[in-house]
Amino acid sequence: MEIAIIIFLIIIMSVIAVQWQKARMKNKFYEKKYAKIINIDNYVKQAVKARAKVANEILQLKNSYKDKKKLFDKLAFEVAVYDEEVKLAELGFYKPHYDFDCSEDFKEKIATVKSKQKQMLTHKKAVYCNKEWTVDGNKSKGKAMVNKGIRLAARAFNNECDAAIANTRWNKC
């Protein structure tokens, strides 16, 4: 009876081995048949990982950009103050330096007038030309000529005023 059990176990093991071999062959068949799909699945998994990495990099770049943009805006604002002063200096408008014998009232009045002048120059109301000119039939060349004339007139006026101020003393009426 023990031999019969052993033979029975050998037969069962053989059947299991044959079934396992068939399953293995079937698995190889399906792997070969669906290899492209399996490769695409692997490719998709890699692409999803790469996308997540790129999305993280984009987020880091956006945060870095925000920080740098804040700094840029701050610096641009600071530079704009000096840029406006340079543009006004080109028109002969600059902050004067006084001798120590000038009175404080005189300095304050000049500062008030200079502030008004600065506003007028900035808003292009200090000097204007209401005539439209053309140069060689070109309006833009005419406008450029008018703008040069306006800058020249503003410089000349401011230089004349500065000369008059420089010759004024507290004891002169």
- pLDDT for 100 equals 44
- Taking only the tens place, the pLDDT of each residue in 121-152 is 778 777 877 788 888 888 888 888 888 888 88
- Taking only the tens place, the pLDDT of each residue in 75-114 is 887 777 676 666 666 666 666 555 545 567 777 777 888 8
DSSP assignment of 2-42 equals: HHHHHHHHHHHHHHHHHHHHHHHHHHHHHHHHTHHHHHHHH
- Taking only the tens place, the pLDDT of each residue in 63-79 is 999 999 999 888 887 77
| pTM (whole model) above 0.85 | no
User: Rounded to 5 degrees, what angle do the CA atoms 79, 85, 87 make?
Assistant: 100
Mean pLDDT of all residues in 13-38: 87
